[in-house]
Structure 1
Amino acid sequence: MPAEWAAHDRCWMAWPCRAALWGEGLEPARRAYAAVAKAIAGFEPVTMLANGEDLADAAALCGDQVACRAMALDDSWMRDIGPSFVTDGRGGLAAVAWGFNAWGEKFHPYDQDAAVAKALLGDLGVRCFSAPLVLEGGSIHVDGEGTLLTSEECLLAANRNPALGREEIEELLRRHLGVKAFVWLGQGLQDDDTDGHVDNLACFVRPGVVMTVVCDDPADPNHPVLQDNLMRLKKARDARGRELEVVELPLPRERRYVGDQRLALSYANFYIANGGIVMPSFGDEQDAAARDIVADAFPDRRVVQVPASDILVGGGGIHCITQQQPRP
């Protein structure tokens, strides 16, 4: 599996449609998705999948720079329902279709989302490897040199693969993604519906360098969790035996809630595009500082911030709603 910073042929997204999840936030979410799609389209081609009845509205909001394509959907988290593309180093492209159970049976129905990866690969004529593993793409991140970053809370959760232990899961990831070494973080952000997806916590910036979210408020429940993850990264080694250089990225200062559930706001939930970074802003005092840190970490890419609060209402961020197709 190539690193996200490798060249892409396209970015895939999916149009919000689960009314029971979004409620009154559905139309604001659609506008926010369109804004993200248009920002990414400034760097690389983007295709938005949408239910047939939503296709015209998606095309109208996304504009001419974003292609729209009909696909049966339950909702809109392309990182988690889409395929994970892999390359063979000789110009060949294939992809892994993981099992999908709506983040541990949290939302129903999900049968159409569970079929998206195979349906899309069939349309593209791309070889599909069906993995006997329930996994969402937002729960893993790779450096393209054999190292995979993930979290114990998610991959070892009983609501995903109760019959599989750490060693069995690692072996399936080795076989399907070509990885050799694993960096395991612990827990995820408070109230995160994904059960600790790593794309809210940390990501590789380049081989040997990882960016991780930290919290400077000892009273915040996320503080000890993120400190533990930071310590794990400082002790870790990658597939080539290197100690990791760690770049720290702050959490937004303001805590936000839907009802009594805290939203998992994270600046690490960004998309690495061809020549650019599309990252969230939240109208928070940390927005500018986070942007500067990301820009320093990716000096060869232009950073664009897109307001993402309306996406977070549904339980995810910019990385969660995107899926890159690498250029083999």
Structure 2
Amino acid sequence: MKRWPAEWEPHQAVWIGFPGNPEEWPVGLEAAQLEVAAFANAVSDRGAGETVVLVCRNKVDANVAQALVAPCVIVVTESFGDIWLRDTAPIFSIDSESLSGRNFGFNGWGGKYQMPGDQDIGQRLAKRFDLPIEDQGWILEGGAIDGDGAGRLITTEQCVLNANRNDHLTKEQVDQHLCEAFGKQNICWLGDGLIADHTDGHV
């Protein structure tokens, strides 16, 4: 039985991208680092047994992060571009009580922000933590979908069916792909998602 857990369900771990690229953060880099480190510390302090992994793009950033987070936060180094691991890392479902990752294609939110490392960060993180993943062969960002953990999924035509993502797929084909990836039976399609956002309408 395949099931995609809801975001509010207990996690085994959470991966958080740490800001470090001065080209992406020409202003406010230090403040962003402090805020992300505080978030990592807050999650690790909940006492729910959740592992917190702070992913840094190089050793210099890792040293900065290590000085800001609690000892229980795991700091690792993996090259990436944008900190939005929600969109670039694998999306995990539960297959017969075991975690199984779905690794989708990523093209910089429709070609707008293409950065080295974002295309394969999912594969590298899964390999580092010895987690199984399956390549899906089409483009999907984690922010483009949401689910309730009980077989219902919501997404938007504006993003997932955008010509800059999956121009070779029909709505019916994407519907089938989503069901195959997450075991979903009830998919709700919205026309548009977030307004004035570079994601082209994440849900």
Q: TM-score, structure 1 length as denominator?
A: 0.57
Change (3 A) 1:117 1:188: same
Q: Which residue of 2 aligns with 1:94?
A: 100
Q: Does 1:67 align with 2:74?
A: yes
Tell me how far 1:125 sits from its aligned partner: 1.7
Structure 2 unmatched runs, 5+: none
Tell me how far 1:6 sits from its aligned partner: 2.4
| 1:188-199 matches, cutoff 5 A | 188-198=193-203
Q: Does 1:174 align with 2:179?
A: yes
Q: Does 1:38 align with 2:41?
A: yes
Q: Which residue of 1 aligns with 2:57?
A: 51
Greater Rg, structure 1 or structure 2?
1
Given candidates 105, 114, 117, the residue that maps to 1:108 is 114
Q: Which residue of 1 aligns with 2:154?
A: 149
Greater displacement, 37-46 / 125-134: 37-46
CA separation in 2, counterparts of 1:59 and 1:9?
Answer: 21
Q: Which residue of 2 aligns with 1:245?
A: none
CA separation in 2, counterparts of 1:190 and 1:144?
Answer: 26
Tell me how far 1:178 sits from its aligned partner: 0.8
Given candidates 43, 59, 77, the residue that maps to 2:84 is 77
Tell me how far 1:18 sits from its aligned partner: 3.2
Q: Contact conserved, 2:82 with 2:115, CA < 8 A, in 1?
A: no
Tell me how far 1:179 sits from its aligned partner: 0.8
Tell me how far 1:63 sits from its aligned partner: 3.0
Equivalent pairs, count = 196
Q: Contact conserved, 2:146 with 2:155, CA < 8 A, in 1?
A: yes
Q: Equivalent pairs: percent with the same residue? A: 36
Q: Which residue of 2 aligns with 1:201?
A: none
Q: Does 1:137 align with 2:153?
A: no
Q: Which residue of 1 aligns with 2:16?
A: 13
Residue 187 of structure 1 aligns to a residue whose secondary structure is coil
CA separation in 1, counterparts of 2:112 and 2:169?
Answer: 20
Q: Considering only aligned residues, what root-mean-square deviation do their CA atoms show, in Å? A: 1.4
**Amino acid in structure 1 at the alignment position of 2:32:** A
Structure 1 unmatched runs, 5+: 199-328
Tell me how far 1:28 sits from its aligned partner: 1.5
**Amino acid in structure 1 at the alignment position of 2:186:** A
Q: TM-score, structure 2 length as denominator?
A: 0.91
1:268-325 CA-to-partner distances (Å, cap 9, x unmatched) read xxxxxxxxxxxxxxxxxxxxxxxxxxxxxxxxxxxxxxxxxxxxxxxxxxxxxxxxxx
- Moved runs in structure 1, 4+ residues, more than 4 A? none
Residue 24 of structure 2 aligns to a residue whose secondary structure is helix
Q: Contact conserved, 2:5 with 2:93, CA < 8 A, in 1?
A: yes
Tell me how far 1:86 sits from its aligned partner: 1.3
Q: Which residue of 2 aligns with 1:321?
A: none
Q: Does 1:185 align with 2:193?
A: no
